[in-house]
A and B are shown apart, each in its own frame.
Chain A
């Protein structure tokens, strides 16, 4: 057996289970665990989504306190550079496959904060976004629709943000470093996550 590199192992693993891949996709779409990291104002749409009226748990979706066990990362509303640092670290902590759903116009183009000094204009430059919901604020129905779209994309195999992040990591890293400055992980992130 030839020597395998670290990247090859991931590919090998994917190739190995190709036969069962449709089954896995179906299972993944049926059990989306949300990372409970509500950024910005969209977090207020989560309680009606979780409670009796829209009750997303009937779709196998549930909020989850730990990024290590989450699949779906909701970016609910505007993102400031300070939050973005935490978002990137949380996103990298999540296990593959992981999906990102961005709420509202702020992650798309800044929304009403388009000329603000402290709101990130395009979230897509820093982490891959699979589905973005336009509007301000998206109601719980719109969020539900976005989650349905994520489910459809998971079944198609087109929700591949986590793969894109690996493939284009240099580009994402470049954008992150441009915004935060070189060595921000060592300088800032280490203060709240000692093991980075």
Chain B
């Protein structure tokens, strides 16, 4: 046998498992998600862990979906916004709490960053008014049907810029507003003060 001959490596043909729809577990969360998905086939749903479920919904049907879920999820806890600047999208996360089932749901939806518009959910949960005003103020998302959109917490000139957007340059803004005569701005770190 030739010593230089390399031993043959059996090439394993790795079988790519077919992408299957995630099986929903046989728990109360799984049943809840399955029930909602049966009524709303346009949405994707999954169970993250005990008492935590997640839905992804296209933006044009979010109102319809939230109206549907509000039967089980009685409480809107928060509307938080994520700025995905590379994809040019805002992700809105509606955090719902089911009082009857003790389950926390994230309902995610994405809208384009330019002229982001969504229907208001004030008629489902009146508390949404405050969260929508906040999202509007910090990110510039327009919620159609909310009568009180406008300056809320921020100063007028901060409100124009929407300071929680990722392309808002905080340091440049702070320099122009508060003056540059301040050693923490010194990027050469000669007078650096912690």
Instruction: Identify the A interface with B (CB < 8 A).
Output: 81-82, 109-110, 114-118, 120-122, 125, 179
Contact = CB atoms under 8 A, between A and B. Distances in A.
Please classify the interface of chain A as helix (H, G, I), strand (E, B), loop, or mixed, using the class held by over half of its residues. Answer: loop
B169 to A, nearest CB: 9
B158 to A, nearest CB: 6
B3 interface: no
Given A109-B184, A109-B193, A110-B184, A115 B155 contact: no
A105 B24 CA distance: 52
Interface of B: 154-155, 158, 161, 163, 168, 170-171, 173-174, 177-179, 182-185, 193
Contact of B173 (A114, A117, A122, A179): A117
Indicate the member of B155, B161, B163 with the most A CB atoms within 10 Å. B155
Given A110-B184, A117-B177, 18 more contacts: A82-B155, A109-B182, A109-B184, A110-B178, A114-B185, A115-B170, A115-B171, A115-B184, A116-B170, A117-B170, A117-B174, A120-B178, A121-B174, A121-B178, A121-B179, A121-B182, A121-B184, A122-B179
A81 B178 CA distance: 10
A195 B168 CA distance: 38
A87 to B, nearest CB: 15
B174 A115 contact: yes
A91 B177 CA distance: 23
Indicate the member of A81, A114, A116, A179 with the most B CB atoms within 10 Å. A114
